[in-house]
Structure 1
Amino acid sequence: MAKIRVLIVDDSAFMRKLINDFLSEHHEIEVIGSARNGEDAIKKFREMRPDVITLDVEMPKLNGLEVLKVIMEERPLPVVMLSSTTKEGADTTLQAIQAGAVDFVAKPSGSISIDLHKIKTELIQKVLSASKANLSKINSQNEPRMARKPLADPAQQKKNASGDLYSKRFSQESKKIVCIGTSTGGPRALQQVLTALPKDIGVPVLVVQHMPPGFTKSLASRLDSLSQISVKEAEDGELLQKGTAYIAPGGFHLEVKNVGPALAISLGQSPPRNGHRPSVDVMFESVSAIKNYSKIAVIMTGMGADGSRGLVELKKNGVVKAIAESQETSIVFGMPKAAIATNMVDEVANVDHIAETIMQYI
């Protein structure tokens, strides 16, 4: 099997050596070269034609964002950004994802991280995952809208239509809550969904986006500036308000609990689930215990299977409509595929139709 050919871009010789050593240990990866600054990166990108690039955000001569824009214009390919966890680093990283980067890895301790080994496994996994990303959808935000489509499995459609345990009693009058889970490609997908929800949506929205600490606040601020609804990083103990989306902070699981007639957020640092904290499964399982609410669960682009077990719990314990993002628009079709495999997804929708599908259920 052909190896994944990787070009490493970082202005620190020490970091280039560490990243090279880590990636070269994996039998599916071949490091074909490295670049010391932005100009060098563009030259080697053109000459070597790598499959994946790891790209430092902060560099002289041309920064990572400027290099990324050249790559996406000339010959789009999977790019994994390496970023510091400063607010500036987080903001630039989110701009890079919007500009076409598939994913990012946060350096543990600044631009030169002697403890880079802490993220060795994550870096390898993200390079492997990026190599399989659906790049045709990276720059397709302005394509014509495609219609949503019902679940492909006719038997499941019939089962749902018959009013079984999982589909009945979903009324327009009941109190509702929306919960969304996503990972790789998620910031772009969330922007398409949350910005399309109306200000008077009338329900709270919970979001788990796999991200490390330091990045979710920048994501929430960016989405809040673009959306009609309010978007904020969730805080422990705050009461859920209609028309607000709460994004789980990096490093914390997000759960909900009853406080009298209201619902409140509970943040915790119990062990990661599926390698993630926050975890979609943890959020879904928590929401499944809330009584007297109808729930709308959405699983979008991402690597792995986080959310599928939680979806089963949701469906067992209440009135739920489940939406999965289609393979056509997912950057990585891991999480939606795993959700669909449970046979408990009611609708598969292209990302640009998910907000409309949510509103139909509301």
Structure 2
Amino acid sequence: MNKIKVLVVDDSAVMRKTLTDILNGSSKIEVVGTALDPYIAVNKIKQLNPDVLTLDIEMPRMDGLTFLRKLMLANPMPVIMVSAFTDKGALQTIQALEYGAVDFILKPRSDDSAEWDRFASELREKVITAASIQSDRFTARSREKAIEVEEKFSADVILPKTVSKVRTTHSDVIIALGASTGGTEVIAKILGSLHENVPAIAIVQHMPEKFTEAFANRVNNNSKLYVKEAQNGDRLYRGTALIAPGNRHMLVRSDASGYYVEINDGPPVNRHKPSVDVLFRSVAQNVSKSVGILCTGMGADGAEGLGEILQAGGMTIAQDEVSSVVFGMPREAIKRGAAQKVMNIEQMIAYINSL
């Protein structure tokens, strides 16, 4: 079996060596080269033909985002962003996912050995998953995003519209949506294509804290819905989409006035926090009319919960393989008989708009 060939691009010599040692610690991976900036990386890509690229964002001469856009136009390939745990790093990472990066990983914030062990395990897993992604799964969207070299702003950045998107009509139907690897693009496309009065949507996207807020704000700017990172007690009104905050679980609860979300700081479930299974189970237990949608992602988080929504009388949908970046979570749900329907993204949009 051929090893996965990786090129590490980072301006820090220490980080290049660290990433190389971590990845070479897997029998399935070989770091075939390193580069300290994008200009060197271009030549290394031509020489070495790597299967996966790890890419730092902050680099001299050309930043990682600019390089990523150029790369996706010239030579689309699986790229994993290596990101800093900062507000700026969060926004840049969300942009990188839009430009075609398949995933990202956060640099450890301390010298704690347990944190570095988790980082090493997660990085190897993400590289192996990225290498398995067929090029046509990300090439089209990568090229489409990369062509937009300069970000387009509206007058909203100077003078926001006075019309508020905040909703007040209670939602009788609750849509619960879960995703992981590849999910940010799916969620952005779905929420950007819905009319303003669809049922409330509760969303879990596997993502760290800070990153979920940046993601929610970015999606909100391109959606007719009111999209925000959820806070404890937020109401689920029609035309609203609440995204679970990173490093917190989100549950749907009900009272005499309707539905709201509870933010929970319990332990990780299925190694994830937030967990899709936690959201789905709460919907199965507390919502009388529900729709569960499980989208792209590796692993099995959400498969069990989707089955619980089905058993409780809700509609359940899994994303199809062709439109999934990683077909792990939807496949597991389908295998368990938890999905009543299998849909692509356009079919999901049409279905939600019909509710």
TM-score range, shorter chain: 0.7 to 0.9
Which residue matches 2:4?
4
The one-letter code matched in structure 1 to 2:93 is T
Deviations 1:31-89 (A, max 9, x none): 10100112111121121110001000111111111221222112211100001121111
Which residue matches 2:96?
96
Q: Aligned to 1:309, what secondary structure does the other structure show?
A: helix
Contact 2:76-2:139 within 8 A present in 1 as well: no
2:316 aligned with 1:322, yes or no? Answer: yes
Which residue matches 2:129?
129
Q: Aligned to 1:323, what secondary structure does the other structure show?
A: strand
Distance 1:142 1:4 in 2: 22
1:245-284 correspondence to structure 2 within 5 Å: 245-284=241-280
Distance 1:119 1:45 in 2: 25
2:330 aligned with 1:296, yes or no? Answer: no
Deviations 1:67-122 (A, max 9, x none): 21222112211100001121111111111111110000011229x99964441111
Which residue matches 1:175?
172
- Identity, % of aligned positions: 39
Q: 1:285 to 1:51 in 2, by over 3 A?
A: same
Which residue matches 1:76?
76
Distance 1:46 1:304 in 2: 33
Deviations 1:300-338 (A, max 9, x none): 111111111001111222x21111111111111111111
Q: 1:142 to 1:11 in 2, by over 3 A?
A: closer
Q: Aligned to 1:47, what secondary structure does the other structure show?
A: helix
2:309 aligned with 1:310, yes or no? Answer: no
Task: Give the counterpart of 2:192 among 192, 195, 198.
Answer: 195
TM value normalised by structure 2: 0.88
Distance 1:142 1:120 in 2: 27
Q: Aligned to 2:7, what secondary structure does the other structure show?
A: strand
The one-letter code matched in structure 2 to 1:75 is N
Deviations 1:4-52 (A, max 9, x none): 0000011101111111111111000001010011211112112111000
Distance 1:321 1:256 in 2: 16
Q: Point out the more displaced range, 343-352 or 78-87.
A: 343-352
Contact 2:203-2:243 within 8 A present in 1 as well: yes
Distance 1:87 1:190 in 2: 21
Contact 2:72-2:100 within 8 A present in 1 as well: yes
1:1-362 correspondence to structure 2 within 5 Å: 1-109=1-109, 116-141=116-141, 175-201=172-198, 203-291=199-287, 293-317=288-312, 319-360=313-354, 362=355
The one-letter code matched in structure 2 to 1:298 is I
TM value normalised by structure 1: 0.86
Q: Aligned to 1:80, what secondary structure does the other structure show?
A: strand
- By relative contact order (CA 8 Å, sep 6+), the higher-ranking structure is 1
Q: Aligned to 1:76, what secondary structure does the other structure show?
A: coil
Deviations 1:180-231 (A, max 9, x none): 0000001111111111110021x21000000011100010000000001111
Q: Aligned to 2:232, what secondary structure does the other structure show?
A: coil
Q: 1:246 to 1:71 in 2, by over 3 A?
A: same
Distance 2:204 2:293 in 1: 10
- Tell me by how many angstroms 1:268 deviates: 1.1
Contact 2:211-2:246 within 8 A present in 1 as well: yes
Q: Give the number of aligned pairs.
A: 327
Contact 1:192-1:352 within 8 A present in 2 as well: no
Contact 1:284-1:310 within 8 A present in 2 as well: yes
The one-letter code matched in structure 1 to 2:259 is L
